[in-house]
């Protein structure tokens, strides 16, 4: 039987709490790209947003945001959803400007994309003090996060998030008919805390196609990312061989430490534009990805593949697992200098393979096909359930 939605465009309400523009957010960029992709595919999309930029200047904002996070109430997008009348609601991020309890009320079917681990980890990273940390999900108790001041190094700032952490009982996870994770490891981690496996499906993000791979003739290696502890940037710089050129693109809380650790052959570029990242990848011998936490699906990995740029990745990161599975580079296994020498021999043969991997899995068209199929299945399942319920009451 053909689904009633299979031959028509859909009305999709996208709910997202935008992080502050003072700190560049890859998640914000991803959401905007996906909204435009759905519109190009012919769907009617309404973005129901709350932007931290609009609130953070208010003196009371830290208190009201903390209360909203702790209670899950306030800041409901329900009015905007009802006014638009969508076929489906796609939730990205609710923290910290939307509550969560609204999701449990009757309404259109909900799907959600999990960009991080906040439903099980108040820091959202499963990372603490330089290493992986799963205390909270292992014990189903987020009080560990308060003890260790996991959010912004503050017990006070961590408390409301820990108070709201409900693991598999999170209202959004409970209400969602389909839950998109960005990689298989993330899907397995959420299943391990009790989220029904039948709800979980891996749907990776995409990046725009730059059109062709780069020449990779710039003679340098490249790091692109936030300058923060979980990214492994300090460890990378402290091991970086003298005389080997490395360009570092990014900003963050470790800027001073990064500047102190950078040797003469390391060039610090600061925060750069997306277009500039593409140019840097096109000229690089390879992308160095030293991240120490599991992550979701780092955009820079997809951008590297799109540019035909192989990746030297740490084994702790999701990129390390993807590199091993997809053959798109090398996973570190010894001294950095030795790994770089091996990568230098291997990477020139991988440019075309990286582009092929991108074309098969991480294009806009691939993402649209996947989410459309899930949207239509969720909508059809809801319609069938409502029809059966109606029939029982006749």
Tens of pLDDT along the chain (394 residues)?
344 455 689 999 999 999 998 877 889 999 999 999 999 999 999 999 999 999 999 999 999 999 999 999 999 999 999 999 999 999 999 999 999 999 999 999 999 999 999 999 999 999 999 899 999 999 999 999 999 999 999 999 999 999 999 999 999 999 999 999 999 999 999 999 999 999 999 999 999 999 888 899 999 999 999 999 999 999 999 999 999 999 999 999 999 999 999 999 999 999 999 999 999 999 999 999 999 998 899 999 999 999 999 999 999 999 999 999 999 999 999 999 999 999 999 999 999 999 999 999 999 999 999 999 999 999 999 988 876 776 776 6
CATH number of 221-361: 3.40.50.2000
Domain 11-119+166-206+364-392 part of CATH 3.40.50.300? no
Q: What are phi and psi of 210, to 5 degrees?
A: -75, -10
Taking each helix axis from N to C end, the angle separating 299-306 and 274-283, rounded to the nearest 10 degrees, works out to 50
Q: Per the structure block, which two tokens stand in for 335?
A: 């001294």
Residue 325 near residue 346 (C-beta atoms within 8 A)? no
Count of other CB atoms within 10 angstroms of residue 179: 24
Joined together, the tokens standing for residue 248 give 């570092």
**How far is the C-alpha of 30 from the C-alpha of 347, rounded, in Å?**
28
Parallel, antiparallel or unpaired: strands 127-128 and 131-132 = antiparallel
Where do the CATH 3.40.50.2000 domains begin and end in the chain?
11-119+166-206+364-392, 221-361
């Amino acid at each position: 039987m053909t689904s009633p939605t299979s031959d028509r465009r859909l009305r999709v309400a996208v709910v997202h709490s935008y992080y502050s523009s003072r700190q560049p957010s890859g998640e914000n960029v991803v959401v905007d790209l996906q909204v435009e992709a759905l519109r190009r595919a012919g769907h009617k999309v309404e973005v129901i947003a709350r932007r931290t930029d609009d609130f953070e200047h208010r003196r009371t904002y830290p208190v009201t945001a903390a209360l909203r996070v702790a209670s899950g109430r306030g800041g409901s997008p329900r009015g905007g959803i009802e006014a638009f009348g969508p076929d489906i609601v796609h939730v990205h991020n609710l923290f910290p400007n939307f509550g969560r309890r609204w999701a449990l009320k009757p309404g259109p079917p909900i799907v959600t994309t999990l960009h991080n681990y906040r439903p099980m980890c108040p820091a959202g990273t499963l990372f603490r003090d330089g290493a992986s940390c799963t205390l909270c999900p292992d014990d189903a108790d987020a009080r560990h996060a308060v003890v260790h001041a996991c959010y912004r190094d503050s017990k006070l700032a961590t408390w409301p998030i820990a108070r709201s952490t409900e693991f598999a009982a999170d209202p959004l996870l409970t209400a969602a008919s389909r839950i998109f994770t960005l990689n298989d490891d993330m899907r397995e981690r959420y299943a391990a805390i009790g989220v029904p496996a039948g709800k979980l499906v891996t749907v990776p993000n995409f990046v725009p196609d730059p059109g062709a791979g780069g020449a990779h003739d710039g003679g340098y290696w490249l790091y692109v990312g936030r300058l923060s502890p979980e990214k492994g940037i300090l460890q990378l710089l402290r091991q970086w061989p003298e005389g080997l050129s490395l360009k570092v693109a990014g900003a963050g809380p470790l800027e001073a430490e990064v500047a102190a650790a950078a040797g003469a052959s390391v060039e610090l570029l600061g925060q750069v534009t997306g277009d500039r990242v593409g140019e840097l990848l096109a000229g690089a011998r390879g992308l160095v990805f030293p991240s120490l936490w599991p992550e979701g699906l780092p955009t820079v990995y997809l951008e590297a593949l799109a540019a035909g740029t192989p990746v030297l990745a740490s084994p702790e990161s999701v990129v390390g697992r993807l590199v091993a599975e997809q053959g798109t580079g090398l996973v570190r296994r010894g001294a950095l200098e030795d790994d770089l020498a091996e990568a230098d021999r291997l990477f020139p043969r991988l440019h075309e393979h990286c582009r092929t991997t991108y074309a098969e899995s991480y294009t806009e068209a691939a993402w649209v096909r996947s989410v459309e199929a899930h949207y239509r299945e969720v909508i059809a399942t809801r319609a069938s359930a409502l029809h059966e319920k109606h029939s029982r009451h006749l």
